[in-house]
Amino acid sequence: MSRISVRGFAVASATAVTTVGAVVGVAAGQPATVNAEATAADATTIADIPAGAQAQVQTASLTQQADEASTQADATALKSAQEAARKAAAETAQSKKDAADQQAKKEADARKKKELAASRSSARTDLGDLVGKSSYTIAETQAIARQMMAGDQFQCFSNIVSHESGWNYRATNAGSGAYGLVQALPGSKMASAGSDWQTNPATQIKWGLNYMNDRYGSPCGAWSFWQANSWY
């Protein structure tokens, strides 16, 4: 690399100035008193400066700036990637939770459907095995009802029967002609469940269960309607 010597330039310049001064002084009749060597020596105190040093410094600065920009860009990209990963993980977790909730709902619906089917099956069970009696107490009638329906439906059924007939299978409404435990109107409707509908509480319970299941889905569905309307 070529280097420009400031020192050499200074010496040459001082020599030239001294020479000119001497010539002028001689021409003017004055002695040449300027010490060229001393002047040149004073000029040599300036340090040598490499050519292109400033450009090198600027290049180094630009390189550093580029490195810093690259580092910052890498950090930004990493942060974006981490945020995207967190978001994806959250979405995956939510999807799994939704799937689990749906599965749980399906299983619950299946259990409910199975229980309802069992209740309806119980309501349609052949009652020929029940021992025929000339009369039944309230406790006996309630025991028959418990055997004919799902356990979680009995209380709803009992609530309706208690309001309609007080568990009297011979109850008759003088005004409307409604008859029996569930106050069928007319009472003869219960003949579809058995010809002994007037004297057998099991027949009345069978008909009442079928009616509640067909119209309201279950005895508890019928009881909900009854609470809102005082009839079913």
Could you tell me the CATH number of the domain that includes residue 126? 1.10.530
Range of the domain at 33: 6-43
* 220 shares a domain with 131: yes
Q: Which residues contact 13 (CB under 8 A, 6 or more apart)?
A: 43
What tokens were used for 199? 């004297």
What tokens were used for 190? 């219960």
pLDDT at 149: 95
Within a domain: 20 = yes
Location of structure tokens 């809102």: 228
Measured CA distances, 135 to 30, 80, 139, 164 (Å)? 165, 83, 12, 19
Count Cβ atoms within 10 A of the Cβ of residue 171 and give its class: 0-12 exposed, 13-18 middle, 19 or more buried: middle
10 Å Cβ neighbour count for 63? 10
* 152 shares a domain with 80: no
* 129 shares a domain with 72: no
Measured CA distances, 137 to 140, 157, 182 (Å)? 5, 17, 16
* 175 shares a domain with 83: no
194 and 200 Cβ atoms separated by less than 8 Å:
yes
Asked whether the whole model's pTM tops 0.75, one would answer no
* 172 shares a domain with 217: yes
Indicate if the alpha-carbon torsion angle 191, 196, 199, 202 is positive or negative: negative
10 Å Cβ neighbour count for 76? 10
pLDDT at 32: 47
Q: How many domains are contained in the chain?
A: 3
Within a domain: 117 = no
Measured CA distances, 88 to 93, 94, 227 (Å)? 9, 10, 50
**For every one of its 232 residues, what pLDDT tens digit does the chain have, with 9 covering 90 and above?**
444 444 444 444 444 444 434 444 444 455 544 454 444 445 444 455 566 666 676 777 788 888 888 888 888 888 888 888 888 888 888 988 888 888 988 888 888 777 666 555 544 444 554 557 888 999 999 999 999 999 999 999 999 999 999 999 999 999 999 999 999 999 999 999 999 999 999 999 999 999 999 999 999 999 999 999 999 9
d(CA 39, CA 74): 58
* 126 shares a domain with 224: yes
* 223 shares a domain with 153: yes
The distance in angstroms from the start CA to the end CA of the chain is 110
* 180 shares a domain with 92: no
Within a domain: 168 = yes
* 154 shares a domain with 126: yes
* 126 shares a domain with 222: yes
Within a domain: 105 = no
* 222 shares a domain with 148: yes
Within a domain: 106 = no
* 68 shares a domain with 14: no
